[in-house]
Every structure is written in C-alpha cells, then in structure tokens.
Structure 1
Amino acid sequence: MNSIIEFPWQQETIIIHSQHILHSFQHWLGYSLLDVSGSSAEIAQRLFEAPFILASHGTQANPIFNYGNRKALEQWEMSWEQFTSIPSRKTAEAVVQEERDRLLAEAANKGFSYFSGVRITSTGKRFQIDDGILWNLFDDQHQYCGQAAVYSKCKFI
C-alpha cells in the first residue's frame, strides 16, 4: 500500500480539509471536536486517529465521500481509496433513504443536526448509530463545501 493512501492525513488537501471540518464544527456547535494544538499536520493526524467515527462528503448532486478517519474506514470495512470513491447515500439502505435525505436537508438549512439511524457496511452488515451529529462544512472563504458526520455510539444489528 502506498503511503499516500495508508496515511491520507499527510496529503496537503486532507490537512486543509481537516481544518475545514474542525473549524466548521466549532462554528456550528460552539465547542471543539478535539484538541487543536500543534501543527496543521499533527492536528490532521490526530483527527484521522481519533476515537470516534468521522466522515464527510462533497457538494456533488450525488455526494461522494471525501474523508473518513481510521474508525470510519474500519466501521464501513473499506480502504481509503474505496471509501473516497463512493456516494455517501450507498451507506444507507434504500428503506431509510428518505429519512437520510430529510436529515441532510435539515442540516443544510440550520447548519447542523443531531441524528440516529441505521447504516450498512460495504459487506452488508447493518449497524445502528445513536447520538450522531451532522454539520455543514465551509472553506476558508466561508463557502459551503459539504457536510460531515461524527458519532461514537453504534452497534451492529
């Protein structure tokens, strides 16, 4: 495995995206997702290795994941390369798509939303998420650039 895929947090684009994730979370929720002391690269590594599951997608009509920390990659049973090439809707079963769409729209309108729900791994295992947070991401120019979600409470069902 090459080091760029094995250690995505070392890529300049991911270091910058990590800052967008953290700054946007702080903006919407009013507190920090994790310790933001140190260099940008150290913070990006800390976010990738965090003990919670974190994922984000872009602004495409059918949004594609553009970030998943190590816990997210493990949860969905995918490599970085696989995870960052699939539409985020593929992680929810068809029967819960309407609720997922409602949640995304709610977060888009007010900046963030709390959620619970069932998702599915790449191998078809279903799991229940509880107490998740979904929030809008913005870049350095304060332009909308996607959404991110974080959670630590989940169980396979």
Structure 2
Amino acid sequence: MKSLALDPEFAALLAGSHLRLVGTPLFDQPIPATDAARWLYEDAPFVLLAHNGEADPRFVYANRTAQRCFEYDWDEFVTLHSRLSAKDPNREERARLLDDVRTQGYSTGYRGLRVARSGRRFFIEKAVVWNLVDHAGVYHGQAARFADWTDV
C-alpha cells in the first residue's frame, strides 16, 4: 500500500473536502500547495487523522501530532482499525458520530474519550470530522482534526 504521509494528492483531498463540506480552510495559515502535504504531516499543530471507507475502517493517515497524541508510529497507525482508538463503552458514541458525518457530510465541536497505545485515556476536544469526498463525488473515508485534548 502506498504511503499517504507526504502524498500531495491525498493532502489535496483532505483540504479540498474540508473546504467544500465544512466551509472553512483546513489550514490556519497560508500554505503553498507544493508544501501542503509536508506541512500537514510534519508541522501541523493539530491532530489530523483519516480512515478509509471500508465497513470496519482502518486508519490510512495520521500526522506526526496524531502519532504523538495516540502513541503509535506511522506503520502501527495504518494497520489499526479506527474503532480501536476508543474504549469499548465509547465505541457506540463514536459510531453515532461517524454515522452522522456519513449522512450530513461533517460534524463540528465533537468531544470524545480516546485511548493511546499505552492505555492512557484522554478526551479529544472540539474535533471536526468530515467525509473525504473528491471533486467527482467519490467517497474515500472520513477525516478528523482537533488541536485540543485533555488526559483523564
């Protein structure tokens, strides 16, 4: 499987879907298109995650901030089913959120309990979750962005 970490087409899908569905730019600052993939992966001050559109989706993207937050490296992240980022009691809440996003295109202001690789539990705060839909309307999965989290 091709790594999406520094893929300019995937960065364009992330940013374009966010702008079309959420109505705001993904970037908090102007980033040249030629540098967007590297900036999102290496320098973005927020967590950025994406999973594919399978019935039991797997992460396909996790920037460095996400890797630090969840304590997984790239290779571990992209083999992880995204449901495993939430503890069992919180998986139903997470499933409701993702169903809402699937039907409405996006959701903002989400707060949910997550678990890091070490077992550390934390709340993600003010998350934006949106569908990854290309210009042709093809669904590729979902993405999430948040800058705030609080350890429990």
Could you tell me the TM-score, scaled by structure 2's length?
Answer: 0.91
Is 1:23 matched with 2:20? no
State, as a whole percentage, how many aligned pairs show the same letter.
31
By how many angstroms is 1:90 displaced? Answer: 0.5
SS at match of 2:54: coil
SS at match of 1:60: coil
Structure-2 separation of matches of 1:75 and 1:37: 23
Structure-2 separation of matches of 1:36 and 1:86: 32
1:77-135 deviation line (CA, Å, top 9, x unaligned):
11101101110001000001111000000001110012101000011110011111100
Structure-2 separation of matches of 1:81 and 1:65: 10
Is 1:152 matched with 2:147? yes
Is 1:110 matched with 2:104? yes
Structure-2 separation of matches of 1:25 and 1:124: 30
Contact 2:48 2:145 in 1 (8 A): yes
Letter in 2 for 1:38: P
Is 1:138 matched with 2:133? yes
RMSD (CA atoms) = 1.7
Aligned residues: 148
Is 1:84 matched with 2:75? no
1:26-47 deviation line (CA, Å, top 9, x unaligned):
011211111454243x110111
Contact 2:5 2:37 in 1 (8 A): no
2:58 is matched with which residue?
64
Give unpaired runs (5+ residues) of structure 2.
none
1:46 is matched with which residue?
39
2:124 is matched with which residue?
129
Contact 1:36 1:43 in 2 (8 A): no
Contact 1:55 1:149 in 2 (8 A): yes
Structure-2 separation of matches of 1:22 and 1:57: 15
Contact 1:113 1:133 in 2 (8 A): yes
